[in-house]
Amino acid sequence: MSTFSTPEFRRRAFLAGLGALSTSALVTACGGTTASTGAGSTTPVDGGNITFLIQGYDTGWVSSKTSISSYEGNLWGQITDKLVYVNEKGELSPWVAESWEELNGAKDFVIHLKSGVTFSDGTPVDAAAVVANLNAWAKGDSTRGVSKVGLFPSSNFVSAEATDATTVKVSFSSPALGFIATLAYHGCILLSPKTLALPVEAQADLSQEIGSGPFVVKSWKQGDSYVLEKRKDYNWGPAALGHTGPARLDTITYKVIKDTSVRTSTVVSGQADVAFNVEPQEIESLKAQGFTVGTPRYLGFVDGFQVNTQAFPTNDIAVRQAIQHGIDRDEILKTVYTSDWNAATTFIQGNVPEAGEFSDSFKFDADKANKILDDAGWTKGADDYRSKDGKTLEFTLTPNPYVPSTKAEDELIAQQLKKVGIKVNLKVVDVAGYAAVQASKPPLFQTSRSFVDVGTVAGVLTSQNKGEDWFGLGTSDQKLNDLSTAIATASDRASREKVADELQQYVLEQGYFIPLNQLVQRLYLISPKIKDVQYNGLAYANFYTAWISQ
């Protein structure tokens, strides 16, 4: 079945390893020869099935949770469409919305829908359906336990109504610069009104999710496998992808394999086509064997820690700043990750237009960190950990299970902070346990949140108009309150950019957010025979245009 006779079988001198433990010679030797990729024509070929190996779909299918989990987002992306498409560089282009207008200072918007778009149950994706979706994203339905989409600009949302079959008018109480961009956010997926009306328990059932995407749910067994098959009458793909007709692949099978090494080895041995979230440190050797490893960067926050200013010890600004300067991000990038990862310049990803260059406010400087702590009265004890008024400078860190290699990353951080006298304990949990860790509001919480427009950042900084209040400040930091309202209600991009710079400078100096590196949350190990896999601005691999070359 596998046509692979590449060197990796010899490299995998596994059992010899058991005996001689001398595989080093074999590993370096194979660096040179790359896999002989088949000549294969470049013109796409229809048909064929692929198997996609993923850790699991544990958080369930209730669509409008506060934020879509990184795993389920893959499947949603194939069975649903969005109004607007965002490419890797963050440029927006029409999709189900043919065109849109931004009126009177971005307070009113008119969206013109493509005609002939239908949900998989045949009902049309008309203005009424879009209005139903918009209301669900903006307000959710607390009576039925359905929450709103986290980063949707709900604070100033007024109404959405269908002026005719293919046009929708949306109005806001104050300028919502990021509204059109948010329509491309992976949380804003178009679902049939019938699905939206379902009670919460029914929504948890995947087969009830009626989307309008290029694939439809064929069959699934909870926790084991999920099979999507192509929708033959689909012809409203986003123009930016260079293809609008039906998908080329017949089916995509998502198979749950919890163990990272098993996923990697299964694809390498040719028994599956795509593996999700492989070990970053293996990328070089996997590429050397001719496999493609997609490491897309999404628009959103960097890999880093939201700091809880109410919890010990991070309630002391000196501690926050000492941590900020005590972490050697360069060593992390070199050790845990590869050249595909970029250093962080601020607490938002580099491809976000408003991202600035503030790396000197978190430059690695152990002496400075030590000095800050000495000045703040944290004296070093015998075990060279610092303490003050009898309490040791210590906190517990939980690696984010949604992001690859955070366990190795946090272990290295613990070592680095030990050098400045801060004791860091680690607690390892899986996806299910991570929600409980977030709920317990730890001093440092490792986040991985995407967004399409920087305006939506305002929704997390403070508790103003039901904000997520990441830093536990409530509204106590007036400067932060002003900055976040300014950014949310900025009338034009230029003035918003200036406010964004000031915000980034302030948040980093106050040590509210401790960036680590630009996040690559989703890694795709793809077998060389699969061509034309494209990535959107939210770093999801899209198999709509993919095809198999023999």
Partner 1 sequence: MTSDYKRFALTRAGQAVVVVLLAYVLTFLVISVLPGDAITNTLRDPQHGLSEEDIQRIVAFYGLDQPVIVQLLLSLGRFLTGELGFSLQSNLPVSRIVGDALPSTLTLATSALVIAVVFAVVIAYGAQYLPGKWAAIVRSIPSFFLSVPNFVIGLVLIEFFAFRLHSFTTTDPNSPVATLFAAITLAIPVSAPLAEVLIASLDHESRQEYALVARSRGLTEATLFAKHLVKPSALPSVAMVALIVGELLGGSVITETIFGRDGIGTVVQKAVTGEDQPVLQAVVSLSAVVFVAVNLVADLASPLLDPRVKLREKVAA
Partner 2 sequence: MTATLGYPQLRNVGTASKRLTAGLPPITVILSFAVVLLVILWSLVPWLFTSYSPVTGDTASKLAAPSAQHWFGTDYLGRDQFARVVYGTASSVTSALVAVLIGLVIGSLIGLASGFRGGWLDSVLGRFVDVLLAIPGFLLAVVIVSSLGFQTINAAIATGVSAVAVFARLMRAEVMRVRSATYVEASYLEGGNRLHALLGHILPNAYRSVLVLAVLQFGTSILIIASLAFLGYGDPPPASDWGLLVASGKTYVTAPWLVYAPALVIVGTVLSVNRISRWLRKAK
Q: Is residue 40 at the binding interface for partner 1, with CB under 8 A as the rule?
A: no
Q: Is residue 264 at the binding interface for partner 2, with CB under 8 A as the rule?
A: yes
| Residue number, 427 or 466, with CB nearest to partner 2 | 427
Q: Is residue 497 at the binding interface for partner 2, with CB under 8 A as the rule?
A: no
Q: Is residue 105 at the binding interface for partner 1, with CB under 8 A as the rule?
A: no
Q: Is residue 414 at the binding interface for partner 2, with CB under 8 A as the rule?
A: yes
Partner in contact with 23, chosen from partner 2, partner 1, none, beta carbon below 5 to 8 Å by kind: partner 2
Q: Is residue 427 at the binding interface for partner 2, with CB under 8 A as the rule?
A: yes
Which amino acid, 80? T
If you ran DSSP here, which 8-state letter would residue 35 be given?
Answer: P
Stretch that binds partner 1, among 108-116, 268-276, 295-303, 499-507 (CB under 8 A): 268-276
Q: Is residue 173 at the binding interface for partner 1, with CB under 8 A as the rule?
A: no
Q: Is residue 411 at the binding interface for partner 2, with CB under 8 A as the rule?
A: yes
Q: Least Å distance between CB 262 and partner 1? A: 5
Q: Are 502 and 483 within 8 A, CB to CB?
A: yes
User: Sign of dihedral through CA atoms 54, 60, 64, 65?
Assistant: negative
- Draw the binding track, 292-331, toward partner 2 (x: CB under 8 A; -: no contact): ---------------------------------------x
Q: Is residue 408 at the binding interface for partner 2, with CB under 8 A as the rule?
A: yes
User: Applying CB under 8 A, which of residues 10, 232, 258, 334 lies at the interface with partner 2?
Assistant: 334
Partner in contact with 91, chosen from partner 2, partner 1, none, beta carbon below 5 to 8 Å by kind: none
Q: Is residue 413 at the binding interface for partner 2, with CB under 8 A as the rule?
A: no
Which amino acid, 96? V
d(CA 23, CA 203): 51
Name every residue whose Cβ is closer than 8 Å to that of residue 161 and which is 6 or more positions away in sequence: 131, 168, 169
- Draw the binding track, 1-20, toward partner 2 (x: CB under 8 A; -: no contact): ----------xx-x--xx--
Strand locations in 459-546, DSSP E?
A: 513-517, 524-526, 530-531, 534-535, 541-542
**Bridge partners for 221 per DSSP:** 225
d(CA 352, CA 350): 6
d(CA 355, CA 348): 6
d(CA 2, CA 374): 62
Which amino acid, 282? E
**Bridge partners for 423 per DSSP:** 394
| Residue number, 235 or 415, with CB nearest to partner 2 | 415
Site residue total, partner 2 (CB under 8 A)? 37
Q: Least Å distance between CB 35 and partner 2? A: 15
What's the N-to-C CA distance of the chain in angstroms?
13
CA angle 205, 209, 211 (to 5 degrees): 165
Partner in contact with 258, chosen from partner 1, partner 2, none, beta carbon below 5 to 8 Å by kind: partner 1
d(CA 433, CA 425): 17
Partner in contact with 505, chosen from partner 2, partner 1, none, beta carbon below 5 to 8 Å by kind: none
Q: Is residue 255 at the binding interface for partner 1, with CB under 8 A as the rule?
A: yes
**Long-range pairs for 492-495: beta carbons < 8 A, 24 or more residues apart:** 492/177, 493/177, 493/353
User: Applying CB under 8 A, which of residues 170, 216, 228, 257 lies at the interface with partner 1?
Assistant: 257
- Report the candidate in 540, 441, 458 with the shortest Cα–Cα distance to residue 69: 540
Identify whether 313 is preceded by a cis peptide bond (ω within 30 of 0).
yes
Q: Is residue 116 at the binding interface for partner 1, with CB under 8 A as the rule?
A: no
User: Applying CB under 8 A, which of residues 282, 303, 316, 477 lies at the interface with partner 2?
Assistant: 282
Q: Is residue 463 at the binding interface for partner 1, with CB under 8 A as the rule?
A: no
d(CA 460, CA 294): 29
Q: Is residue 534 at the binding interface for partner 1, with CB under 8 A as the rule?
A: no
Alpha helices in 140-271 (DSSP H): 179-182, 193-197, 200-203, 260-268
Partner in contact with 121, chosen from partner 2, partner 1, none, beta carbon below 5 to 8 Å by kind: none
Residue 173 CA to its chain's centroid (Å): 30
Q: Is residue 138 at the binding interface for partner 2, with CB under 8 A as the rule?
A: no
Residues 365-384 within binding reach of partner 2 (CB under 8 A): none
Q: Is residue 412 at the binding interface for partner 2, with CB under 8 A as the rule?
A: yes
- Report the candidate in 408, 47, 86, 359 with the shortest Cα–Cα distance to residue 229: 47
What token pair was written down for 399? 């690696």
Strand order in the sheet with 379-380: 379-380, 386-388, 391-392
If you ran DSSP here, which 8-state letter would residue 348 be given?
Answer: B
Partner in contact with 216, chosen from partner 1, partner 2, none, beta carbon below 5 to 8 Å by kind: none
Q: Least Å distance between CB 269 and partner 1? A: 4
φ/ψ bin of 425: left (φ > 0), alpha (ψ from -120 to 50), beta (otherwise): beta
- Report the candidate in 292, 288, 278 with the shortest Cα–Cα distance to residue 523: 278
User: Applying CB under 8 A, which of residues 22, 115, 432, 479 lies at the interface with partner 1?
Assistant: 432
User: Applying CB under 8 A, which of residues 177, 210, 268, 452 lies at the interface with partner 1?
Assistant: 268
Q: Is residue 232 at the binding interface for partner 1, with CB under 8 A as the rule?
A: no
Residues that bind partner 2 (CB under 8 A): 11-12, 14, 17-18, 21-25, 27, 259-261, 264-265, 268, 279, 281-282, 285, 331, 334-336, 405, 407-408, 410-412, 414-415, 425-428
Residues that bind partner 1 (CB under 8 A): 1-2, 9, 12, 14-15, 18, 51, 53, 59-60, 62, 65, 145, 147, 200, 223-224, 255-259, 262, 265-266, 268-269, 271-272, 429-430, 432-433, 435-436, 438-439
